[in-house]
Chain A
């Protein structure tokens, strides 16, 4: 369990003091993937850097598994940091070292291992991230995704109990992003490793996180299980972040798929049909009975829109015929 207790951090800017973090508290359960999202300048980097004290908060405490790291002296903190991995947006690899030597670097810092032991560990880590064949290359010879794999291998070298990711995929193209997110999910599952990641991209939260905190102007404006926050975003910032990414409820299809055995349909209402009892009408016509899984009603620029996610319990017509039937009522239906 990681506990952030009312930390604040101010920066001086031209004689003015601005609060990068304003009384932030978080509780992160062991083994979960915790996302922190917010717009640029919201204080995300400052917050994640407070978790390994690269940045010291002006006030407040950070405890990792019951140990208050803000009380550690420099030496003890350096020791503790060896078991907190960190992954960076711009990778921050040593140009002067090969891939293998980069991964070996934290092992050298920690000491206490023979060269042979270190080499064995490096091979293990490179296998974990799928870079065995690039062992002797320099970072400059790697693609962005490969560099980030090196960054991840390096972060895992000393068996951390916490992995921090600062916009780990923000410099990568969408496909590479997916691959890196999948790798992080794998690592979380395989090693039971707690991951805290920050991002400005709701898709990252959706794909990866169990819990999420929304940060705005240095404050946590919303936090909870990703599912809850997506189904019922409370704060305007959360809602606009969701809307911008084009994610209504349907985005959660992956999660439902695992839990609901029946076929799932997503109904999207835009404009007038939103205000009509369309589902009820179609239900009577074709004997459709559904189990509502989630729904929202909202507005984009004065146009009402809604989304329903429903499990099909019974239907007189084949599920594949439903889209056409709903289309007649001006409602888009997708079978997920």
Chain B
């Protein structure tokens, strides 16, 4: 059994925990926003450029697909470090919450884009064909057919991505990104203050649970039956 001294809870710096929570939420919110803004178009591009698809460009698809795979295969910690110069250039700092957002987005975009591609593949080909038979242009098909028809799947993909981002934020401590995960590692793992670790883990768990049920209930609400 762990020998826990819950009296330590009284000594926990709740202000620090509050700050860390805020940091996590900021990183999550901002990086999720940019992930969707970049990942959704990339996912659509992957889908329509794939061989046999609406605008088949096999070479372009192969290149994009390879890049996505490269980024997805890199451990996030490595991405954090490798991207530091780029981050500095882009946001003026490569550390802290602001510095963490760039690698978070770079890590999550390929993940989300691939999920989007797979969700779009589930759209009934017959429906796409029916739209073509009515004279739909590509833009019509994307905005009036593909995206609306796959909305529940897209929300599901965004939920999975947000949960994955929570995991990524934990590692951003490496570059001083802060947040709950960082707190858990610094106090719990490195200083053996298990109580703090447990508190942060509970908070992270609550966050993940909250994201998942919010996502699920949105999916339920926009299902088409």
Contact B151 A96 (CB under 8 A): yes
B127 within 8 A of A: yes
> Which chain A residues lie closer than 8 Å to B132 at the CB level?
54, 81
> Which chain A residues lie closer than 8 Å to B124 at the CB level?
92
A299 within 8 A of B: no
How far is B134's CA from A80's CA once the two chains are assembled, in angstroms? 9
Contact B133 A86 (CB under 8 A): yes
**Chain A residue with Cβ nearest B148:** A96
Contact A92 B225 (CB under 8 A): no
B75 within 8 A of A: no
A54-B129, A90-B126, A93-B127 known; A140+B225 contact, CB < 8 A: yes
> Which chain B residues lie closer than 8 Å to A105 at the CB level?
131, 134, 144
A289 within 8 A of B: no
B52 within 8 A of A: no
Instruction: Choose among B131, B133, B224 the residue with the greatest number of A CB atoms under 10 Å from its CB.
Output: B133
How far is B145's CA from A92's CA once the two chains are assembled, in angstroms? 11
Pick the residue among A54, A90, A108, A141 that contacts B133 (CB under 8 A): A54
How far is B127's CA from A314's CA once the two chains are assembled, in angstroms? 59
Contact A92 B135 (CB under 8 A): no
Contact B136 A96 (CB under 8 A): no
> Which chain A residues lie closer than 8 Å to B129 at the CB level?
54, 88, 92
**Chain A residue with Cβ nearest B136:** A109
**Chain B residue with Cβ nearest A154:** B134
A109-B140, A141-B225 known; A92+B134 contact, CB < 8 A: no
B221 within 8 A of A: no
> Which chain B residues lie closer than 8 Å to A82 at the CB level?
134-135
How far is B135's CA from A201's CA once the two chains are assembled, in angstroms? 29
Pick the residue among A88, A90, A95 that contacts B149 (CB under 8 A): A95
How far is B57's CA from A27's CA once the two chains are assembled, in angstroms? 37
Q: How far is the CB of B129 from chain A (nearest CB, A)?
A: 6
Pick the residue among B131, B135, B224 that contacts A138 (CB under 8 A): B224
Interface residues of A in 101-147 (CB under 8 A from B): 105-106, 108-110, 138-141
B2 within 8 A of A: no
**Chain B residue with Cβ nearest A79:** B135
Contact B130 A88 (CB under 8 A): yes
Contact B134 A109 (CB under 8 A): yes
A293 within 8 A of B: no
How far is B132's CA from A138's CA once the two chains are assembled, in angstroms? 22
Contact-residue bracket for chain A: 20 to 34
How far is B137's CA from A78's CA once the two chains are assembled, in angstroms? 7
State the majority secondary structure of interface residues on A: mixed
**Chain A residue with Cβ nearest B224:** A95
C-beta contact mask, B177-214 vs A, less than 8 Å → 1, else 0? Answer: 00000000000000000000000000000000000000
State the majority secondary structure of interface residues on B: helix
> Which chain B residues lie closer than 8 Å to A81 at the CB level?
132-135
**Chain A residue with Cβ nearest B133:** A86
**Chain A residue with Cβ nearest B149:** A96
How far is B136's CA from A110's CA once the two chains are assembled, in angstroms? 8
Contact A92 B151 (CB under 8 A): no
Pick the residue among B127, B130, B224 that contacts A86 (CB under 8 A): B130
A94 within 8 A of B: yes
> Which chain A residues lie closer than 8 Å to B225 at the CB level?
138, 140-141
A81-B135, A82-B135, A110-B135 known; A92+B130 contact, CB < 8 A: yes
A84 within 8 A of B: yes
Contact B135 A78 (CB under 8 A): yes
Pick the residue among B130, B144, B148, B149 that contacts A108 (CB under 8 A): B144
C-beta contact mask, B131-160 vs A, less than 8 Å → 1, else 0? Answer: 111111100100011001101000000000
A52 within 8 A of B: yes
Q: How far is the CB of B221 from chain A (nearest CB, A)?
A: 13
Contact B133 A84 (CB under 8 A): yes
**Chain A residue with Cβ nearest B134:** A106
How far is B126's CA from A32's CA once the two chains are assembled, in angstroms? 27
How far is B130's CA from A15's CA once the two chains are assembled, in angstroms? 30
Contact A92 B127 (CB under 8 A): yes
**Chain B residue with Cβ nearest A78:** B135
**Chain B residue with Cβ nearest A95:** B224
C-beta contact mask, A294-306 vs B, less than 8 Å → 1, else 0? Answer: 0000000000000
How far is B145's CA from A88's CA once the two chains are assembled, in angstroms? 17
Q: How far is the CB of A153 from chain B (nearest CB, A)?
A: 12
**Chain A residue with Cβ nearest B128:** A92
Q: How far is the CB of B122 from chain A (nearest CB, A)?
A: 11
How far is B149's CA from A27's CA once the two chains are assembled, in angstroms? 38
> Which chain B residues lie closer than 8 Å to A139 at the CB level?
224
Jot down 12 A-B pairs with beta carbons below 8 A, ordered by A.
A52-B133, A82-B135, A84-B133, A88-B129, A90-B126, A92-B127, A95-B224, A105-B144, A106-B135, A108-B144, A109-B136, A158-B134
- Since A81-B132, A84-B133, A93-B127 are in contact, a sample of 10 more A-B pairs with Cβ atoms closer than 8 Å, ordered by chain A residue number, is A86-B133, A92-B127, A93-B130, A94-B145, A94-B148, A95-B149, A96-B149, A109-B140, A138-B224, A140-B225
Interface of B toward A, CB cutoff 8 Å = 124, 126-127, 129-137, 140, 144-145, 148-149, 151, 224-225
